[in-house]
């Protein structure tokens, strides 16, 4: 047993987190910043955090992840990191020549109290920022929130730094996709285009973290939202923010800063959330949804009905990030599955309320915890076993110990491929999720059925 | 003057690496880039173990990573609690591939767990000691481990939490659980290396010598600086066992608390990774009288050499003979694979930029395949790892190294016992046996090769573009930018989920792996036919 010391009895812990279901803000800021074209993320702190974040993102994407650091030593920790950041800005623009440096803080620089805005202004005054280049910043102390709030903070700072209102509307819709995979961002753009809506998606990591191998290394790949597009978000007709936690703040800032009205939606995972996304796009842009979209939707409904017997009343345990989990739980309920244990490491009571609402009618108890950890989830599973586990790669230790069919979904996925290429958002993404869920459930059935009842056709 | 494969003089390569830097950066980096055999008068020595330059994308990690991740990571029965915000603990959770064998009935294994105090803003404002104390208590209540270790992350030092006082208090309270702490805040020192030192000091201070019980086995050694990545330690243990040598304690691959506690019961310390642990070998000698030698189990010839060295130390005919038998038994299979692989690897070139010993050790494996290492360097080593231990007296203590405690160690009043008499030691030395000896990487590299300390992303890319090695070795962060250039990249920290590469079977694994990588068909697929031949003139003739 790999987690042999996990007892079945749940004892409430006040101080000790075991097997976290979240990580720290800066990595979210780094991931978001990679969604700006020509941007080098910069970690203002000691070099270890940056090394850890780059490694984690690289292991997840199997792609180069460039990011710089202020490389604090003891001196900087005592006297502040201004000198380090100024030096870093100069070195970065000279050596790597990005269009944008997106700085985020760490627990170290936040504890010291470094003021990014003031340092960036100083860099500007000292001529360290070449004409037409930008330094933006987000405050992401790791002792507040989680990787999700770090992502949100960096997206918000994109609006603060770039969004401009010229007074002339550009007829476009801003879409803030939230922390989803590059393939998901691609799919959201495809859907919007299919519906016939001109849009600016930001941030956009497609084409950045799922690049080709061609014998050429581009430190700044072709993908990413351009600075020009980020500026133009201020002239859009409206904003659709996907995921309250990931995207809500940026959308509201865009509203107050540039008077671009916004609507915050759930992330489009599963049938219903995708329906709402497409409908919102249609209404905002005043277009008719074409038949192709209805066809994709119909195919998803068809698969649900075809295989409903395998979904019906199967118990599911999930761990992940709030915005993603809300939509996924809704999707599972749509399938008549029973999400019985739901854990996120990110704190926030609203999440627990929302999950309770979504699962209110189910014929079972539902355990939900925001600010929980995987140790707790494992204990819940020991007390109330499940038929399916959905979460990131770390779940595989529980899945193996308890022999539970397991679908990898979320961040990070370190041991399987596909998340960077195949979306799980939209109707197509819904099909892929069902394919994965059915795959593990039916593999299990085929493994466990006795020979006399082993079936060819399922 | 020597020229490189593509006709560039090494000085030209160096110039090219520095060309784009702002002057200050160029001056600093120039001292860390050395053309072997000191051809440039102005840099007769290499600068190492100095600060990373802000903004220059580095391969290095932090002190915490070196302490918690590298040294304590592989020990399975200690509950390792990270005191800090959640990130550091999360990222160091199972991401290094130190394997462990906890299959014995009742064996403890906490390596699959991540423990953290997950500090929140109120802990930063009001101090985190209370929370740490409560977390230790909870860990004790749930798991009842024999030891709990506390690791400080960056903010802890700044807010002034006294983690050592908390550890002492909890240790006294529990009575049956050793609790100790590490002040390994990420900003201390310039790299992971500082963290190794902090970790080893505390293990030496709080654990080594705790268990005086006699242990079974003949020819007892400790293996220092071997972390069982990809099962390297398992293969070394297999060979040692076959030879009749008892591995008393590995620091720290596949280790347990008790191994550290009884490390003073060995009769020889064999040091693998010089950088991360040579000071522990020194301290074990001073305090307990155990001599140390440098070994290397990377490469079949080096493995054989290291085994002979250990046998010569003990000096028993039966052991010396047994070691020769084992080598004779193991070598033919290794040589057969080497001979086959060599037909496809001979004359190819490699670059190695890893850690604090691998960039040296792995050159032996490449040499066994007929491959030349044209450039190498360490991520976090010191000058002695490049130039040899004779430079140690000259090393300057700068502000960053002053941060790292040097333990004052004296001979243990009751347990100090010289393992060899002065006459025996003298006899061995006269026979060419070298104690406490390491010549470093530089003498083993060819003239005109480039030795680069703390290579960064920009220089890595330039080196690869200019010299087009057949393979590049570094870590996960470097992996894919190098491969995008069409050059295979082998991770020598995590082994790309492969291994073991140590010992005899490990050598076979490595030969096959490098053969696979440098001869993979995939490197020939970079361009589509229409990109290679964009012209439309050769029109098809339709049947
Ligand atoms: S640099 Fe500090 S905060 Fe960052 S990972 Fe290392 S110990 Fe943690
Ligand atoms: S918790 Fe703080 S020190 Fe640790 S990795 Fe995150 S930002 Fe860095």
Contact B327, B438 (CB under 8 A): no
Structure tokens at A351: 């999440």
Say how many CA atoms lie within 13 Å of A6 toward its Cβ: 25
Specify the residue with its C-alpha closest to ligand 2, atom 7. A106
pLDDT digits (tens, 9 = 90+) for A330-350: 999 999 999 999 999 999 999
Can you give the three-state secondary structure of A385-400, one letter per residue? CCCEEEECHHHHHHHH
Residue B401 pLDDT = 85
Lowest-confidence region among A425-439, B400-414, B415-429, B489-503? B400-414
Residue B541 pLDDT = 62
Structure tokens at B234: 């398992």
Q: How many CB atoms lie within 10 A of CB B308?
A: 14
Euclidean distance between CA atoms A227 and A221, whole angstroms: 14
Using a pLDDT cut of 90, give the percent of chain B over it: 92
Ligand 1: residues with CB < 6 A are A 46, 48-49, 52, 106-108; B 62, 64, 88, 153-154, 185-186
Lowest-confidence region among A118-127, B329-338, B483-492, B526-535? B526-535
Mean pLDDT, rounded, for B166-170: 98
Residues 357-376 of A with CB under 8 A from B: 375
φ, ψ (nearest 5 deg) of residue A187? -70, -40
Ligand 2: residues with CB < 6 A are A 24, 26, 49, 52, 106-107, 142; B 84-85, 87-88, 153-154, 186
- Residue B42 pLDDT exceeds 50: no
pLDDT digits (tens, 9 = 90+) for A143-190: 999 999 999 999 999 999 999 999 999 999 999 999 999 999 999 999
Which DSSP state fits B114? -
| Whether complex ipTM tops 0.90 | yes
Mean pLDDT, rounded, for B275-282: 96
**Mean of the per-residue pLDDT values of chain A:** 97
- Residue B38 pLDDT exceeds 60: no
Which residue in the set A15, A54, A375 is minimally distant from B117, CB to CB?
A: A15
Confidence label for B39 from pLDDT (cuts 50, 70 and 90): very low
Which DSSP state fits B68? I
Question: Which helix (H) or strand (E) element contains residue B222?
Answer: strand B220-226
Is the Cβ pair B62, A48 closer than 8 Å?
Answer: yes
CB burial string B152-161: b at 16+ within 10 A, e below: bbbbbbbeeb
Helix (H, G, I), strand (E, B) or coil at B154: helix
- Residue A297 pLDDT exceeds 60: yes
pLDDT digits (tens, 9 = 90+) for B287-298: 999 999 999 999
Using a pLDDT cut of 70, give the percent of chain A over it: 100
Active site residue B62: yes
Mean pLDDT, rounded, for B440-452: 94
Euclidean distance between CA atoms A295 and B47, whole angstroms: 65
Whose structure tokens read 């293990």? B203
B399 touches chain A (CB under 8 A): yes
Residue A76 pLDDT = 87
Confidence label for B538 from pLDDT (cuts 50, 70 and 90): low
Confidence label for A78 from pLDDT (cuts 50, 70 and 90): confident
The closest alpha carbon to B49, from B201, B270, B273, B276, belongs to B276
B contact test, residue of A41, A42, A52 with most B CBs within 10 A: A52
Strand order in the sheet with B349-353: B33-35, B450-452, B372-377, B349-353, B471-474, B489-491
- Residue B542 pLDDT exceeds 80: no
Which of the following is catalytic: B65, B281, B473, B502?
Answer: B65
Q: Residue B457: its chain A contacts at CB < 8 A?
A: 66
Based on C-alpha coordinates, what's the Rg of chain B? 25
Euclidean distance between CA atoms B270 and A364, whole angstroms: 60
- Residue A98 pLDDT exceeds 60: yes
Residue B397 pLDDT = 86
Mean pLDDT, rounded, for A215-238: 97
Euclidean distance between CA atoms A286 and A259, whole angstroms: 19
How far apart, in Å, are the Cα atoms of B129 and each of A142, B83, B137, B166, B503?
A: 18, 9, 12, 7, 45
Q: Residue B159: its chain A contacts at CB < 8 A?
A: 111
CA of B199 to the centre of ligand 2 (A): 19
Lowest-confidence region among B305-319, B350-364, B523-537? B523-537
Helix (H, G, I), strand (E, B) or coil at B33: strand
Confidence label for B3 from pLDDT (cuts 50, 70 and 90): low
Structure tokens at B157: 């030092």
Mean pLDDT, rounded, for B509-519: 98
Contact B64, B185 (CB under 8 A): yes
**Mean of the per-residue pLDDT values of chain B:** 95
- Residue A399 pLDDT exceeds 60: yes
Confidence label for B44 from pLDDT (cuts 50, 70 and 90): low
Specify the residue with its C-alpha closest to ligand 1, atom 4. A49
Residue B4 pLDDT = 67
Residue B351 pLDDT = 98
Residue A186 pLDDT = 98
The closest alpha carbon to B57, from A35, A91, A63, belongs to A91
Question: Which helix (H) or strand (E) element contains residue B506?
Answer: helix B503-518
How far apart, in Å, are the Cα atoms of B261 and each of A195, B80, B162?
A: 68, 17, 25
Residue A262 pLDDT = 97
Euclidean distance between CA atoms B157 and B161, whole angstroms: 6
Beta bridge partners of B152: B83
Alpha helices, H only, B378-451: 383-387, 399-402, 422-430
Mean pLDDT, rounded, for A109-131: 96
Can you give the three-state secondary structure of B283-328, one letter per residue? HHHHHHCCCEEECCCECHHHHHHHHHHHHHHHCCHHHHHHHHHHHH
Beta bridge partners of B246: B220
Which DSSP state fits B98? B
Say how many CA atoms lie within 13 Å of B98 toward its Cβ: 27
Q: Is the Cα torsion angle B506, B253, B351, B281 positive or negative in sign?
A: negative
Beta bridge partners of A407: A390
The closest alpha carbon to A46, from A24, A67, A77, A25, belongs to A77
From start to end of A207-270, where are the E strands? 238-242, 262-265
- Residue A204 pLDDT exceeds 60: yes
pLDDT digits (tens, 9 = 90+) for B348-399: 999 999 988 999 999 999 999 999 999 999 999 999 999 999 999 999 888 8
By CB atoms closer than 10 A (0-12, 13-18, 19+), residue A443 is exposed
φ, ψ (nearest 5 deg) of residue B248? -75, -45
First vs last C-alpha separation in chain A: 32
Question: Which helix (H) or strand (E) element contains residue A284?
Answer: helix A271-285
Residue B43 pLDDT = 45
By CB atoms closer than 10 A (0-12, 13-18, 19+), residue B402 is exposed
Closest ligand 2 atom to the C-alpha of B88?
4
Mean pLDDT, rounded, for B205-209: 98
Is the Cβ pair A13, B124 closer than 8 Å?
Answer: no
Mean pLDDT, rounded, for A52-73: 97
pLDDT digits (tens, 9 = 90+) for B220-258: 999 999 999 999 999 999 999 999 999 999 999 999 999
Euclidean distance between CA atoms A245 and A243, whole angstroms: 6
φ, ψ (nearest 5 deg) of residue B350? -135, 155
Based on C-alpha coordinates, what's the Rg of chain A? 23
Strand order in the sheet with B292-294: B246-252, B220-226, B268-271, B292-294
- Residue B40 pLDDT exceeds 70: no
Is the Cβ pair A22, B52 closer than 8 Å?
Answer: no
CA of B268 to the centre of ligand 2 (A): 40
Residue B96 pLDDT = 95
- Residue A242 pLDDT exceeds 80: yes
Active site residue B96: yes
The closest alpha carbon to B405, from B183, B103, B137, belongs to B183
């Amino acid at each position: 047993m790999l987690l042999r010391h996990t007892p079945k009895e749940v004892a409430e812990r006040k101080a000790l987190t075991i097997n976290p279901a979240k990580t720290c803000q800066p990595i979210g800021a780094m991931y978001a910043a990679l969604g700006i074209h020509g941007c080098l993320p910069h970690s203002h702190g000691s070099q270890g955090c940056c090394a850890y974040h780059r490694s984690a993102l690289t292991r997840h994407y199997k792609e180069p992840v460039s990011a710089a650091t202020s490389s604090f030593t003891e001196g900087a920790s005592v006297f502040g990191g201004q000198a380090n950041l100024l030096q870093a800005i100069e070195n970065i623009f000279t050596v790597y020549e990005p269009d944008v440096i997106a700085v985020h803080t760490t627990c170290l620089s936040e504890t010291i109290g470094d003021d990014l805005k003031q340092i960036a202004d100083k860099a500007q005054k000292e001529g360290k920022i070449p004409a037409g280049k930008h330094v933006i910043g987000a405050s992401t102390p790791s002792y507040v929130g989680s990787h999700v709030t770090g992502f949100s903070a960096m997206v918000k700072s994109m609006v603060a730094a770039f969004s401009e209102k010229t007074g002339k509307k550009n007829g476009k819709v801003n879409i803030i996709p939230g922390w989803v995979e590059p393939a998901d961002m691609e799919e959201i753009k495809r859907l919007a285009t299919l519906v016939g809506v001109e849009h600016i998606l930001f941030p956009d990591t497609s084409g950045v973290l799922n690049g080709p191998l061609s014998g050429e290394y581009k430190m700044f790949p072709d993908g990413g939202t351009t600075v020009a597009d980020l500026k133009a978000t201020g002239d859009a007709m409206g904003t659709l923010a996907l995921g309250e936690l990931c995207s809500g703040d940026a959308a509201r800032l865009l509203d107050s800063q540039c008077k671009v009205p916004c609507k915050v939606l759930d992330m489009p995972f599963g049938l219903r959330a995708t329906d709402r996304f497409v409908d919102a796009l249609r209404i905002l842009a005043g277009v008719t949804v074409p038949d192709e979209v209805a066809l994709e939707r119909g195919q998803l409904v068809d698969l649900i009905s075809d295989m409903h017997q395998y979904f019906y009343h199967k118990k599911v345990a999930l761990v992940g990030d709030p915005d993603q989990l809300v939509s996924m739980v809704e999707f599972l309920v749509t399938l008549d599955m029973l999400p019985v244990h739901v854990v996120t490491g990110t704190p926030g009571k609203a999440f627990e309320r929302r999950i309770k609402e979504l699962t209110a009618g189910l014929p079972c108890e539902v355990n939900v915890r925001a600010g929980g950890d995987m140790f707790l989830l494992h204990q819940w599973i020991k007390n109330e076993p499940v038929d399916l586990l959905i979460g990131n790669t770390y779940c595989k230790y529980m899945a193996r110990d308890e022999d539970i069919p397991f679908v990898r979904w979320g961040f990070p996925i370190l041991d399987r491929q596909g998340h960077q290429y195949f979306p799980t958002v939209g109707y197509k993404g819904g099909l892929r999720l069902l394919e994965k869920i059915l795959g593990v459930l039916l593999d299990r059935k085929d493994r466990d059925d006795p020979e006399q009842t082993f079936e060819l056709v399922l | 003057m020597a020229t490189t494969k593509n006709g560039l003089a090494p000085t030209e390569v160096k110039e090219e690496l520095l060309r784009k830097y702002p002057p200050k950066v160029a001056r600093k980096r120039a001292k860390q880039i050395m053309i072997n055999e000191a051809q440039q008068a102005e840099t007769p020595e290499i600068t190492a173990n100095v600060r990373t330059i802000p903004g220059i994308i580095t391969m290095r990690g932090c002190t915490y990573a070196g302490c918690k991740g590298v040294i304590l990571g592989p020990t399975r029965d200690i509950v390792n609690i990270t005191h800090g915000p959640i990130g550091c603990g999360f990222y160091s959770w199972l991401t290094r591939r130190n394997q462990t064998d906890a299959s014995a009935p009742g064996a403890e294994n906490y390596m699959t767990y991540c423990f953290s105090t997950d500090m929140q803003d109120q802990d930063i404002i009001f101090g985190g000691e209370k929370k740490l104390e409560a977390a230790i208590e909870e860990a004790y209540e749930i798991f009842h481990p024999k030891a709990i270790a506390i690791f400080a992350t960056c903010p802890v030092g700044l807010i002034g939490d006294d983690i050592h006082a908390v550890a002492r208090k909890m240790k006294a309270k529990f009575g049956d659980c050793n609790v100790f702490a590490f002040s390994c805040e990420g900003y201390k020192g310039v790299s992971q290396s500082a963290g190794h030192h902090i970790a080893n000091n505390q293990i030496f201070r709080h654990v080594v010598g705790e268990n005086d019980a006699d242990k079974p086995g003949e020819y007892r050694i400790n293996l220092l600086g071997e972390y069982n990545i990809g099962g390297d330690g398992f293969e070394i243990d297999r060979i040692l066992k076959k030879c009749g040598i008892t591995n008393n304690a590995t620091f720290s691959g596949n280790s347990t608390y008790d191994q550290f506690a009884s490390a003073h019961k060995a009769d020889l310390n064999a040091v693998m990774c010089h950088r991360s642990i040579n000071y522990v070998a020194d301290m074990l000698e001073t305090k307990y009288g155990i001599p140390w030698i440098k070994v290397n189990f990377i490469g079949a010839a080096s493995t054989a050499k290291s085994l002979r060295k250990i046998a010569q130390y003990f000096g028993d005919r039966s052991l010396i003979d047994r070691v020769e038998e084992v080598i004779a038994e193991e070598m033919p299979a290794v040589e057969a694979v080497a001979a086959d692989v060599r037909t496809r690897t001979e004359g190819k070139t490699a670059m190695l930029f890893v850690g604090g010993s691998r960039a040296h050790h792995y050159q032996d494996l490449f040499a066994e395949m007929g491959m030349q290492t044209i450039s190498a360097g360490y991520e976090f080593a010191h000058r002695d790892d490049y130039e040899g231990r004779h430079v140690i007296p000259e090393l300057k203590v700068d502000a960053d190294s002053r941060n790292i405690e040097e333990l004052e160690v004296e001979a243990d009043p009751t347990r100090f016992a010289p393992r060899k008499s002065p006459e025996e030691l003298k006899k061995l030395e006269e026979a060419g046996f070298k104690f406490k000896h390491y010549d470093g990487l530089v003498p083993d590299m060819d003239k005109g090769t480039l030795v680069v300390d703390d290579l960064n992303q920009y220089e890595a890319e330039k080196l690869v573009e200019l010299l087009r090695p057949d393979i590049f070795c570094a870590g996960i962060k470097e992996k894919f930018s190098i491969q995008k250039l069409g050059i295979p990249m082998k991770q020598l920290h995590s082994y790309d989920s492969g291994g073991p590469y140590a010992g005899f079977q490990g050598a076979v694994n490595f030969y096959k792996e490098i053969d696979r990588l440098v001869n993979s068909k995939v490197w020939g697929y970079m361009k589509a036919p229409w990109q290679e031949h964009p012209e439309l003139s050769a029109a098809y003739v339709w049947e």
